[in-house]
Amino acid sequence: MVLKILGIALAAWIVLSVLGAIFKFLGTALVIGAVLFVGAAAYGAIKNRSGRSIGS
């Protein structure tokens, strides 16, 4: 009985540890993706502005 409870607790601990690592990675990937997106948008806006001709 005690071993069954310890086994369930161990399985739950492993599952929560794996989920925590996944969410930590996803949070880091989200920040990196947001920074890259803002950088690409800023680069596109600057490039588009410099490509305009003076007469238009």
| Predicted confidence (pLDDT) at residue 56 exceeds the cutoff of 60 | no
Instruction: Quote the CA–CA distance of 20 and 10 in Å, as a whole number.
Output: 15
The CA dihedral of 30, 36, 37, 39, to the nearest 10 degrees, is 150
Structure tokens at 14: 């492993």
12-17 average pLDDT score: 97
| φ, ψ for residue 54, nearest 5 deg | -70, -35
Task: Compute the mean pLDDT over every residue in the chain, rounded to the nearest whole number.
Answer: 90
Its pTM stands at 0.59
* Rounded-to-integer distance, Cα 32 and Cα 37, Å: 9
**Alpha helix stretches (DSSP H) within 1-56:** 2-50
Q: What is the pLDDT of residues 33-54, one digit of tens each?
A: 999 999 999 999 898 887 665 5
